[in-house]
Amino acid sequence: MAPDTPPPPSETPPESASPSALHGLRARWHEFLLALTILTRLPLPAEHPGKDGVAEAAWAFAPVGAVIGLVSGLVFIAATWLGLGVTVSLILAIGAQIVLTGALHERGLAATADAVMLGDTVQKRVAQLSENRLAAAGLLALIAVLSLRHGALAELASELIAVGDDFEATASYGVAVTIAFILSGAASRVVMAWVWNALPSAREEDAELDGHVTLRAALIGTGIVVALAALLLSWRLFVVMAIGLTLLTLAAIGLLRQQFGGQAAQPLGGVQQSAEIFVLLCLSVMAVPV
C-alpha cells in the first residue's frame, strides 16, 4: 500500500493586499481631514498629527483649497441667482472664503508685511512674526490683496457678462468665477507646500512641531492641480500659469530665505495669498467671452 501523500497546499489568494490598501486609504482620508482642520475652521474629527503629521498631510492642501474655492463659487452663484449684482455677490463670496478659513492666510500676510517693514535683521523679523498687533504695513497689504482679488474676479465676470443677459450667459460667468476660485485656491496652496518643502523652519519650535514637507507630498499636490488645470483650462493658459507659478515659487523661496532665514506659518500665508492673486489676475487677463 502506497504511503499516504500529503494533500497539495490549498491555493488561497493573498488577503494582505486588501487590508493594506484599505489602511492606506484610511490614512489618506485622515490626512485630508487633518488638512481640512488646519486650513479651515470646520470642527472636523481628526487624529492628533504628532511630529511630521501636518507636513505629511501637505499633499491634501490642494484638494482642500479646491473645496474652499468651490464653496466660494457656490455662494457667488447663489447670490447672483437671487438677483444681487456682481460686486455684492463677489464680496459675499470672498467673505464666505474668509469666514471658512478664519482669515488664516490673510493674517499671515499682514504679519509678514509688518515683520519685513519693522525688522531690520533676520532675528527681529522672525520675532516680529509673533506680534498680534496689526501695523500700517499689514493693513495696507490686506487692503491691496482684497482689492486685487475682488478686481480680478470682477474683471473676469464683466468680460463674460458682456456676452448677453440671457440665462446661459449668466450660468457661464457663474461657472467661470467658480473655476477661478477653485484653481486659485488649489494652486496657491501647492505653492505654499513647495516653499515649505524647500526651506527649513525659521523657528526651532516650529521644526519640532510641524516637521518638514516631503517631496512626495508636494508632487502629489502638484499632480492634483495639474489635473484640475488640464481639465478646466486651455493649453495656452495652462502653460502661462505653470511658468508663472514656478517663477513665483522660486522667488518666494529666495525672499523668505533672505528675510527670515527659512519658512514659518505667517510667511507661508503670505505666499499663498500672492499665488492666489497671481492665478486670479492671470485668469482675468486671458479670459475670453463665451
Give pLDDT tens digits for 76-122: 999 999 999 889 999 999 999 999 999 999 999 999 999 999 988 99
* Confidence at residue 49, expressed as pLDDT on a 0 to 100 scale: 55
Q: Strand, helix or coil at 278? A: helix
Mean pLDDT over 257-285 rounds to 92
Identity of the highest mean pLDDT range in 18-22, 26-30, 99-103, 197-201: 99-103
pLDDT at 123 over 60: yes
Nearest Cα to Cα of residue 108 among 85, 84, 130: 130
The pLDDT confidence band at residue 176, using thresholds 50, 70 and 90, is confident
Give pLDDT tens digits for 82-94: 999 889 999 999 9
* Confidence at residue 273, expressed as pLDDT on a 0 to 100 scale: 96
Nearest Cα to Cα of residue 268 among 181, 180, 203: 203
What percentage of the chain has pLDDT greater than the value 90? 50
* Confidence at residue 171, expressed as pLDDT on a 0 to 100 scale: 44
Q: How many CA atoms, within 13 angstroms, populate the side-chain half-sphere of residue 225?
A: 34
Identity of the highest mean pLDDT range in 14-28, 160-174, 214-228: 214-228
* Joined grid coordinates for residue 4: 499516504
pLDDT at 211 over 60: yes
Cβ atoms 268, 200 nearer than 8 A = no
Can you tell me the distance from the alpha carbon of 177 to that of 31, in angstroms, rounded to the nearest whole number?
29
Residues with Cβ < 8 Å from 33, sequence gap 6 or more? 44, 45, 46
